[in-house]
Amino acid sequence: MSNLLSVSSQLDQFLRELMELIPKFYSDGFGKNSVGLVPGRSESEDIQIGLDEFCENLLIEKLRKTGCGIHLFSEHTRLVVGDSETLDYFITCDPFDGSGHYMRGLPAEWWTVLTVWDSKSGTPVWACAADFIRKEIYFADSNGVTLELYSTGKVFNINPSKDTRVSDESIIACYTMSPKYFRLWSKNLSNFTKIMENQFPKMRFWPDGGACTYPWLSRGLTNAYVMFDEPRTEIDPGLGFVWASGLKVFSVSDEGDLNEYIFEPDKSLDRIPWFIASCTKDLAKDIVNLVLG
C-alpha cells in the first residue's frame, strides 16, 4: 500500500466513524463543554469545545496508523505525528468545523475538512470533507472532486460554477454570525450590498463559511466567498478542493489588486485582511470592482 493510499484510507475511516458518532453525541449532549481558546482567536470569536478535542484526538490516532511522518496543522494544534526526520505529508485540518453552532445546540453546518500536502513540493495531493447534517462526503484528488451520499453510497462527479460576473443567480457566502464579522462586512460592503439590491435583487448571501465553504464552491452551490480578517486556519483546510476543482483564492489589497493566496506553514496563525475565494478569477475581479465602486 502506497503512503498516500494508507493516509487516505485512514482519513476515510475517520470521516465515516464521525458520521456515526456525531448524531449520537448531539443527542447525549456530549462535547459542548469549553476546553480552551483557539490559537490566534479571541474568546468572543471562537473557542475549542469537547467535540473539537475528541475529533482531533481521533484524527491523530488514525494518522499514527499510517506509518507516515505527518506534520499536522489543525485549527487547535500543530504537531508531528510519526517520524519527524522523514516527513511525508503536511495535513491542514479543521477536525470539527461548526463548534459554535454545536455548543449552542444548533444542528447546522457541522463539518470536518482537511487537505493532504506533499511535504517536498508543498502541493495538495488529496482532500476530503464530511457534512454531518446532510450526510454527504466529499473527496478531492488530481481527477477532480466527487460527492458521496453516505446513506446510499452513490457517488457523483461535481464541478464549480463557471460564472464570470455577478448576477441575479449569484450566491456569495460570508460568515456574518458573530458581531465582529458582521461589523466588518457592514463597514466594508455597505456600497456593495446597495448595488446588489438595486441591480441584482434576486442574488443571495449565504451567511456561513470558514473551512466548510470549499466543498460547496467545488459543487457550484455557491459562486464566491468574501471575508475580512479571515484566519488562515479557516482557509488552509479547504485548499485541496481549490486545487482539485480549479477554484481561485486571493488576498485582496486595499486598492483591489488580486494576489494569489498560498499555504505558508510558518504563517498558519496569521489572518488575511480581505480574502476572496471564487469559482473564476473574473468573478473575483467583478466583485472587487463592485465593492470599490
pLDDT, tens digit, 9 for 90 and up, residues 174-205: 999 889 999 999 899 989 999 999 999 999 99
Residue 115: what residue type? Answer: T
- Tell me the pLDDT tens digit for each residue of 223-281: 999 999 999 999 999 999 999 999 999 999 999 999 999 999 999 889 999 999 999 99
Confidence of residue 86 (pLDDT cuts 50, 70, 90): confident
What radius of gyration do the chain's Cα atoms show?
A: 18
For position 37, what pLDDT does the model report? 65
pLDDT score for 35: 78
Q: Rounded distance, CA 235 to CA 129, Å? A: 13
- How far is the C-alpha of 278 from the C-alpha of 226, rounded, in Å? 8
pLDDT value at 1 more than 60: no
SS3 132: coil
How does strand 69-74 pair with strand 87-97? parallel
DSSP reduced 3-state for 237: helix
| Structural domains of the chain sorted by starting position, each given as residue range(s) with its CATH number in brackets | 3-157 (3.30.540.10), 171-292 (3.40.190.80)
Mean pLDDT of the chain: 94
Is the separation of the CB atoms in 36 and 97 below 8 Å? Answer: no
| Residue 293 Cα distances to 121, 148, 204, 255, 288, angstroms | 40, 41, 19, 11, 8
DSSP 31: T
Among the residue ranges 30-34, 40-44, 150-154, the one predicted with the least confidence is: 40-44
Task: Please state, in angstroms and rounded to a whole number, the distance separating the CA atoms of residues 12 and 120.
Answer: 23
Distance CA 80, CA 159 (A): 34
Name the H helices within the chain: 3-28, 50-64, 99-103, 179-199, 213-219, 232-235, 239-245, 281-292
Dig out the grid coordinates for 269 from the structure.
Answer: 496563525
Q: What is the pTM assigned to this prediction?
A: 0.94
Q: Which residues of 156-169 are buried (b: 16+ CB within 10 A; e: fewer)?
A: eebebbebbebeee
**Max Cα distance, the chain (Å):** 58
Which SS3 state, helix, strand or coil, does residue 175 take? coil
